[in-house]
Structure 1
């Protein structure tokens, strides 16, 4: 019976230790975080977007193939090349992998830790210690073969909070990657539209130069006939020189824009010179609806990333508060230990043990409170950044819509001017055909029409450029279904206490 009681009296001892540990953990800690709280107020989309351009409705704009609609397969291929080869996006992808690995590490912390070990030390055992004769005073090996395990009792939800923080960082990395993709696609599309403008303005300028050279020949003939003075020849030479300089500038812009596109897609300048000449066709109707769905703003990847930073800040505050409370770990081991290898594998060499380890902050010299203040300040920064990002996004959308509306009005006026120039050319051609006028008025009318076409082209491409910017301002069709709801929060902004963490008086 004596041996049986010895085998079982370890269990009551373990229970007593656990009861003591539980009692200690229920005691109020000597360190308090009372008075440390945030006053930051997280704004919502509804608080900010009170403009008439937004509506509380669901919708999706633009569609995912917006690049195809604007520039066809040429623009789509360039954007796909950039998304595939740009180094900045490759770095963003690597950050996602790092965040996922960090999430894996955090998840591993929630599980028990088990380790195996083996050690052997050849040594001389003292004759005046715990080792009895005949080993005392001799050389032999001290051997141990064991399995050890430990597990943290998560009374305050530490592991759960750590997992939320790690997942927030992973979501931040994903949203930042989407933001980088959107910025890159926007830059490529705008540069491609600029290349369209360079080529088309170059073509019109070359037509103007050809007409001006014909006018110069006619002017010279009229001067010889005494119908004009030499001053008209000088004016003609000035206009020809200006057009040649303009043509040179457009050619320079073409080379520079090609180099810019090459850099955006992560290629060398030679690749930029191989980009096909844009075969631009005016796109179909990609104009944003008169009333934009309010939720489009929250879909912006940069807004999403900012919102997840707020979520991460909340988790950081929870983790800092958890540090004010006792931490209990259960650790145990089982194995074999012997002096000399001969007895290591015998049953009498067995060792085992189990027990709690308790850490209770009593006096930390203000370190815990300072760390919490730092976390609260970081949360305040995240909230302010999110609020500012939301405000900037709404202003960016409003600006682009204003530009689009102005372009629409300018386009209407320019259409009237271009139609008037066409009518003037038609009348000049009719007079020439009737023999009541020579070719000079026809050439002048053609030159005037080309000047109006230049203005029409600039207004039209400015409108397209604003459409591309509006697409970026509204998130480019990005839709994250896992964005934290900005209208609710896991933590109140004034208290930050998690529901499973008791307040400290």
Structure 2
């Protein structure tokens, strides 16, 4: 239950004393509402809490910049990412959320400022003969008019509006960080799909070369079969190989079409847009070095971590507002204007009215409701802290996973390079024997097929290295910098105002 008390200014000194006495009584009555015993349990983890020296050593590298796509795929890939950012519905949803939170912030800020309004009322009515209206107006039909300028101001002694504004501002920062994260997800998805399309086209070329070689082998085996030099089984084995490569050729064409459709969807366009994308080419390998002090700097480089941290800050504001509700709310009310019976008397000097006084709202029997509300905010704080800690843990493991895979693929590529070199050397020897006449074309064609198979493995490893490179760029934030975007927050700030174990409304 809430009690609302209002007072108007008057010349009687006794009434002023009564107003002060009543105000003091209101403050004392509020002692019945207490939030003692409601405590938080969540603790924000820090980068120093994690051991990363061996998995993520300092390599004096650079953080990705916002034009990382230009370095990977040139202007072609960059233009696709720009188009996706401009037209993807997920980013439009994120932008709409930022606009909504901005409106909430404006509303919270307005609540902490003085309010001024004007009003005019005019009611045609019959005045009762048995009420406070004296003759000659009693029992007659007249207009009751009032023209007023109203003023109100909430002093916010206990920080309710400040907490609400803090929450709204933090929600806005979180929404902006989430928008950057959505942009990063879209950009890296486009880049990875683009790499996949490049791999599929390169595999299609090697598949076509294999088809050409097997066609020659099939022709030679058929000639040898007709001449009685080979068994029919060898010819059938060659035909089987041709058919398998032909089926793989059709699979690759299907994959290319599906990947183009996927790119068109990421761009927010129809499937025909995917057909217009020019054929991509796999980028060359680039050495990647991790930046120094990675765990600490990662806090301001990953938009998902920054968003989670601002969500914690927002709930801290909600807790401050919930705690302020335990205290009386004091609002200064004032008005000035004219009031009269009959419009012809409204603007006369004798119709002037003026009033000023406090409006006090206090909780009396609402302790259980207020405590329940505060418990909900504290539970939400613990949840947001856990979400932040999970985001930080996942981010560090994400970087470590990408680094581990890049190292493994580099070692695999070294071994595969040796295998490809050996296959190339074997082809040279077979072609030399063919030229000097010690063997026919079949061994040379078989060696060429082996080399093409090794090149296809090379190609898959190259594509995977490019994909992991993009994955590492994403894990490092993709060029996002909270400091530059005005979204930085003091990471080692202690949320002391969240602890609710020792203070009460009394």
The match for 1:109 among 111, 133, 157 is: 111
Displacement after TM superposition at 1:238 (Å): 0.9
Change (3 A) 1:77 1:444: same
SS in 2 for 1:118: strand
Change (3 A) 1:493 1:117: closer
1:297: which partner in 2? 298
Change (3 A) 1:162 1:11: farther
1:32: which partner in 2? 34
Return the alpha-carbon distance in structure 2 between the equivalents of residues 347 and 489 of structure 1. 59
SS in 2 for 1:356: strand
Displacement after TM superposition at 1:460 (Å): 1.1
Matched, 1:490 2:495: yes
1:129: which partner in 2? 131
Asked if structure 1 preserves the Cα contact closer than 8 Å seen for 2:163 and 2:319, the reply is no
Displacement after TM superposition at 1:284 (Å): 3.8
Return the alpha-carbon distance in structure 2 between the equivalents of residues 290 and 432 of structure 1. 54
Change (3 A) 1:468 1:338: same
Return the alpha-carbon distance in structure 2 between the equivalents of residues 353 and 397 of structure 1. 66
Displacement after TM superposition at 1:40 (Å): 1.3
TM-score (norm 1): 0.93
The match for 2:479 among 474, 477, 480 is: 477
1:414: which partner in 2? 416
1:75: which partner in 2? 77
Return the alpha-carbon distance in structure 2 between the equivalents of residues 258 and 292 of structure 1. 39
Return the alpha-carbon distance in structure 2 between the equivalents of residues 267 and 51 of structure 1. 45
Return the alpha-carbon distance in structure 2 between the equivalents of residues 346 and 208 of structure 1. 103
* 275-284 or 128-137, which deviates more: 275-284
Return the alpha-carbon distance in structure 2 between the equivalents of residues 450 and 55 of structure 1. 38
1:402: which partner in 2? 404
2:258: which partner in 1? 256
Asked if structure 2 preserves the Cα contact closer than 8 Å seen for 1:55 and 1:294, the reply is no
| CA deviation string 1:174-223 (max 9, x = no partner) | 01111111111111111111101110001100100000000111111122
Asked if structure 2 preserves the Cα contact closer than 8 Å seen for 1:147 and 1:334, the reply is yes
Matched, 1:461 2:448: no
2:313: which partner in 1? 311
**Alignment size in residue pairs:** 494
2:394: which partner in 1? 392
The match for 2:238 among 236, 240, 255 is: 236
Asked if structure 1 preserves the Cα contact closer than 8 Å seen for 2:214 and 2:241, the reply is yes
Asked if structure 2 preserves the Cα contact closer than 8 Å seen for 1:49 and 1:394, the reply is no
Displacement after TM superposition at 1:51 (Å): 4.0
- What does 1:431-442 align with in structure 2 at a 5 Å threshold? 431-442=433-444
The answer for unaligned runs of 5 or more in structure 2 is 1-8
Return the alpha-carbon distance in structure 2 between the equivalents of residues 494 and 153 of structure 1. 24
| CA deviation string 1:26-79 (max 9, x = no partner) | 776211111111111111122125342436899741122211111111111111
Asked if structure 1 preserves the Cα contact closer than 8 Å seen for 2:30 and 2:364, the reply is no
2:385: which partner in 1? 383
Return the alpha-carbon distance in structure 2 between the equivalents of residues 58 and 496 of structure 1. 46
Asked if structure 1 preserves the Cα contact closer than 8 Å seen for 2:145 and 2:346, the reply is yes
What value does the CA root-mean-square deviation take over the aligned residues?
A: 2.3
Change (3 A) 1:132 1:288: same
* 289-298 or 150-159, which deviates more: 289-298
SS in 1 for 2:496: coil
SS in 2 for 1:249: helix
- What does 1:10-49 align with in structure 2 at a 5 Å threshold? 17=19, 21=23, 24-25=26-27, 29-49=31-51
Asked if structure 1 preserves the Cα contact closer than 8 Å seen for 2:59 and 2:291, the reply is no
Return the alpha-carbon distance in structure 1 between the equivalents of residues 357 and 134 of structure 2. 29
SS in 2 for 1:134: coil
Asked if structure 2 preserves the Cα contact closer than 8 Å seen for 1:211 and 1:447, the reply is yes
Asked if structure 2 preserves the Cα contact closer than 8 Å seen for 1:337 and 1:344, the reply is yes
| CA deviation string 1:244-302 (max 9, x = no partner) | 011000000000000000000100001111111113442544x2337562234312111
Change (3 A) 1:288 1:10: farther
The answer for unaligned runs of 5 or more in structure 1 is 1-6
Return the alpha-carbon distance in structure 1 between the equivalents of residues 469 and 316 of structure 2. 37
Asked if structure 1 preserves the Cα contact closer than 8 Å seen for 2:32 and 2:367, the reply is no
Asked if structure 2 preserves the Cα contact closer than 8 Å seen for 1:314 and 1:491, the reply is no
TM-score (norm 2): 0.92
The match for 1:153 among 152, 155, 159 is: 155
Asked if structure 2 preserves the Cα contact closer than 8 Å seen for 1:428 and 1:441, the reply is yes
